[in-house]
Structure 1
Amino acid sequence: MIDYSHRFNMIRDSDVVSFPDDDCWYPNGFLDFISKEIKELDFKIVYTKYGSSPTIVSLSLDTNKHAIKNLVSFASSNTTFYNSNLFVKVGFFNEEFGVGAKYNGGEDTDFAIRSLLETSKLETSKQSIKFIDSILVGHRDPNSLFKYKYFNGSLRVLKLHSLKSVGLFYIYFRKLVVGLFFYASGKISLSDLNTK
C-alpha cells in the first residue's frame, strides 16, 4: 500500500500521512484540525488518544503535553499523524514488528520513535512534536489484555532504540521492570522477556 502510494505520488502530494485501523473514526472537524496543526503550524508529528467517545475538536485543545514517555505510550497507528516530508525521510515500517510478523506488535511505536529521532535532526528552535492529551480519535476503548499480548514486540522496539537517548533508555529499563512484574503475576511468559 505504501509502495503504491509512493508510485502514484500520493504521499508527495499530501500534507499529512497516517495509518488508521479500519475500525477507527474521526469526529467532524478533526482532520481539518490535524491538517492545520501540521500544514500551518508546522508540527511534524501530532498524536493524541483514542476511545469509544471521542471529543469534538476545539481551539481549547491547544496545550502541548509532548514528552518521550507520552509518545511511547500513546503514539499508535490510530492516533498519530505525520508531516508527509518527515514520513518520506523515516521510510518504511520495520517488517520484523507487527501482528503476524516475527515479533508481535510494536511496529507503530518503532515508527513513532524513528520519527522522533528524525525530528531531532531538524535545525529549528520550534517544537516539532505535539501531543494532545484528550480522546480525539474514535475506536473501541483500550483493552488492558493487549499490554500482555504485544509486550514482547514493544519491549524489543524499546531495546532497539534504548541507547539513542537517556529518555529512551529509562523507558526501556522501566518496561523491563514492568515485564518482570507481569511475569511474576503470570501475565506473560519468560520468552516474552527475551530480547535477543
Structure 2
Amino acid sequence: MKFSLIVATLGRSAELERLFNSLAVQTHQDFELIVVDQNADDRVETLVERFKYLIQIVYLRSERGLSRARNVGLQAVRGDVVAFPDDDCWYRPDVLEFVALKLTTTEAASAGLTGASVDGDDKPSQGRWATSPLTVNRYNIWTCATSYTIFLRTDAVRAVGRFDEQLGVGSGSRWGAGEEVNFLLGVIDAGFQVHYEPSLRVCHPEPLAVFDHKAYTRGRLYNRGFGRVLSLNRYPLHFVFYLTARPVAACLISFLKGDVSRARYCWIAATNRMLGWADRR
C-alpha cells in the first residue's frame, strides 16, 4: 500500500523538519511526500534537498491558501491512500503501518480511516475526540476528524475531486477553516464508508494553550468556517443550535470561574459559528 502525503507549508521551518524526521523513521516506508511550498524564500527547498535521499519527495509550488495548495498536490497523487499532514504535525513511527494494516484487514471494505489528535504528551489536542471506534457520519464527524488525521483511499478522493478554495487558512474569505470536514462530508455523501479509530493518533501542538489576540483572531476565522460548513451541508437548525450552545455554556462556566480570557474565546466561537452559518453569500 503506497501513501501519498500532501503537506502544504508556509512560514514554518523547524516544525516542517520535525515532520520530515518523523516520516524518515516510519516503519512503513512505501509513501511519497508531496510538498506544496507557499513561501517566497527557499527555506523549504533547502529542507527538501537535505531529505530527498531519505524519503521520496515531490516538490511543488502554489498560490497562497491551504485548499489551493492541497488541490495542486492532489494532481500529483500516485498512491493508494491519500493523507493531509499539517506542516506542524508529526507522525509516530508506526502511524502509516497502523493505517495500512487496518485498511488491508479489519477495515478492508472502508474508504478511509480517521484518528485523533494528541500533543507530545499524548494528551488530546485541537478539540474533543470520540473515545470509541465509530463509523463516521454527518453528526459525529466533528469529534472524529481533522485534516492531518484523515487517510482516504484514492478512489474516494477522486470521487470528491477538489477542496473548496473559499474555505480554509489563507483562502482570503471570511471562512478560515472547515475545508477538510467539508471534503470528508463529500466522501460520505458519495456513499463511501469511513471509520474512526481512537488508537490512531497523530501529534499536533495544542493551539489554545494561551488565550491571546492571536487565539481570538484564529477563533473568529475558524468558527466562521465551522458555521459555513454547517450551512453548505444543510445541517438541521436544531443541530446548529446544539453546536453553538456548547461554547455558550463553556463561556458561562468559564466566566463564573473567573477565567475571563477563556470565556471571551468561547463567546467568539459561539457567535462566529452562527455568523458563518447565517452568511449565505
Residue correspondence of structure 1 range 40-59 to structure 2 within 5 A: 41-53=108-120
Residue correspondence of structure 1 range 1-196 to structure 2 within 5 A: 1-2=69-70, 4-5=72-73, 7=75, 10-11=76-77, 13-39=78-104, 41-53=108-120, 64-68=133-137, 69-101=139-171, 102=173, 103-118=175-190, 120=191, 128-134=193-199, 136-141=201-206, 143=208, 148-149=219-220, 150-163=222-235, 171-178=239-246, 186=264, 187-188=267-268, 192=272, 193-194=274-275, 195-196=278-279
- Provide structure 1 residue ranges, at least 5 long, that are not aligned to the other structure: 56-62, 123-127
Give the structure-1-normalised TM-score.
0.73
User: C-alpha displacement at 1:53, in angstroms?
Assistant: 3.7
Structure 1 pair 46–189 and aligned structure 2 pair: CA distance change class (3 A)? closer
Q: Distance in 1 between matches of 2:200 and 2:102?
A: 17
Structure 1 pair 169–18 and aligned structure 2 pair: CA distance change class (3 A)? farther
Question: Of the two, which has the highest radius of gyration?
Answer: 2
Q: Distance in 1 between matches of 2:165 and 2:96?
A: 28
Q: What secondary structure sits across from 1:78 in the alignment?
A: helix
- Provide structure 2 residue ranges, at least 5 long, that are not aligned to the other structure: 1-68, 123-131, 253-262
Q: Distance in 2 between matches of 1:21 and 1:172?
A: 28
Q: Distance in 2 between matches of 1:159 and 1:112?
A: 15
Structure 1 pair 18–107 and aligned structure 2 pair: CA distance change class (3 A)? same
Give the structure-2-normalised TM-score.
0.53
- Aligned CA RMSD, in angstroms, stands at 3.1
Higher strand residue share: 2
